[in-house]
Amino acid sequence: MADRKVILTIAPTGGMADKSVTPHLPTQPEEIAEDVYRCWQAGASVVAVHARRPDDGATCDPDIYRRINGLIRERCDIVINNSTGGGISGDMVSTLPDGRQEIAFEERIKGTLAGAEMCTFDPHIQCMHRDDLELLLDTSWSRCIRLAEAMKERGIKPEWEVMSLSDLNWVNELIALGYDEPPYYINIVLGTNRLMSGATPYTPRNLQRFVEDLPDGALFCVSGVGPAQLPSSVHSLILGGQARVGLEDNIYYARGRLATNVELVERMVRILGELNLEPATPAEAREMLGLRQPVAS
């Protein structure tokens, strides 16, 4: 008998990579849904969905999200988590009056409109840079309140995405205001420090600090970016957390070899078995997370 059940999240697409870096990245609704179905068969409990336009540009268009969500639900009962982070291209980039560019908040909040059970919640302000692109991710306090109210109104559970210890301060304040109920689900994002101001690299000590500072009643997983994905996922399990894998965070299976989402899930399921753990079914994950039935779109 396994020591405990583990929520295994697959993050198949993200809002940054494209098919020029890996042909295995699913970007269109049918291919996302089919990839998610195969990951569910392999043991995934939750899917973190990012949407793309027909030209593969990033979007939070609720019609595209509804299409993806509907196709997934036709195939399986995996827990659906839609992003309100969006991405760094397509609909998500807007120009401010002073000429700077930001990831458009008015587009991001549309991620709450497609009937997902969960949505990501990024309670921070960061500057993101990649090649010649520089973007502001601005979730100011007033925007946090708008996003939290949108989720609460629709019965959506937040997945709190924290990239620094200071992010937990706003998470705690929003929880205190009644915008979430235990068990809280916190995704600790580590390894984006070369791309985002204020982000934290993965080290065992850094992850330990985050876990020590989590609010009472929290479950957690780790988004380890790039080569941090495998060690941080295993470390999360050792600390009593959940697991997350996928091409959103890491496109490689090993040095120089591109991964598929399915084989990343399969490897994590094998690791769970070696640790005498077992992937939770979607129904078990819903119970662990305190989720209601899927919200009608």
CATH of the domain at 102: 3.20.20.70
The lowest-confidence range among 55-59, 97-101, 199-203, 291-295 is: 291-295
Q: How many Cα atoms are found within 13 Å in the side-chain-facing hemisphere of 187?
A: 30
Q: Is residue 183 part of a domain?
A: yes
Does residue 279 sit within a domain? yes
Domain of 124, in residue numbers: 5-289
Helix 141-153 with 167-176: angle, nearest 10 deg: 50
pLDDT at 132: 82
Q: Which amino acid is at 147?
A: L
pLDDT in tens, 166-221: 999 999 999 999 999 999 999 999 999 988 998 999 999 999 999 999 999 999 99
Alpha carbon distances (Å) from 259 to 249, 251, 262: 11, 6, 8
Instruction: Give the whole-number percent of the chain exceeding pLDDT 70.
Output: 98
In a domain, 88, yes or no: yes
pLDDT the model gives residue 133 = 85
d(CA 251, CA 259): 6
User: Domain for residue 203, yes or no?
Assistant: yes
Do residues 218 and 211 touch, judged by C-beta distance below 8 A?
A: no
Please report the DSSP string for 144-162 in residue order: HHHHHHHHHHTTPEEEEEE
The reply to whether 171 falls in a domain is yes
Q: Quick one: CA dihedral 257, 260, 264, 270, positive or negative?
A: negative
What does the pLDDT look like over 112-167, one tens digit per residue? 999 999 999 999 999 988 888 899 999 999 999 999 999 999 999 999 999 999 99
pLDDT at 291: 96
Structural contact between residues 13 and 49, judged by C-beta atoms closer than 8 angstroms: yes
d(CA 65, CA 142): 25
DSSP per-residue codes, 171-205? HHHHHHTTS--SSEEEEEEES-TTTBTT-----HH
Q: What is the pLDDT of residue 270?
A: 98
> In whole numbers, what is the pLDDT of the chain averaged over residues?
96
Residues contacting residue 22 through CB under 8 Å, at least 6 positions apart:
247, 251, 258, 259
Q: Let me know if residue 297 belongs to a domain.
A: no
What is the C-alpha to C-alpha distance for residues 26 and 31, in angstroms, rounded to an integer? 5
pLDDT-based confidence at residue 294 (cuts at 50, 70, 90) = low
For residue 121, the model assigns a pLDDT of: 98
The two beta strands, 101-103 and 5-6, are unpaired
Instruction: Output the pLDDT for position 293.
Output: 56
Separation between Cα atoms, residue 147 and residue 243, nearest integer Å: 26
Distances (CA, A) of 189 to 96, 146, 178: 27, 23, 24
Number of structural domains found in the chain: 1
Q: What is the mean pLDDT of residues 72-81?
A: 98
**Residue 153: Cβ within 10 Å count:** 9
Has residue 295 been placed in a domain?
no
Band of pLDDT at residue 2, cut at 50, 70 and 90? confident
In a domain, 127, yes or no: yes
Sheet strand arrangement including 125-130: 93-95, 101-103, 133-138, 125-130
Pairing mode, if any, of strands 118-121 and 79-82?
A: parallel
- 255 vs 171: CA distance, rounded Å: 36
Share of the chain above pLDDT 90, in %: 93
In the predicted model, is pLDDT for residue 279 greater than 70? Answer: yes
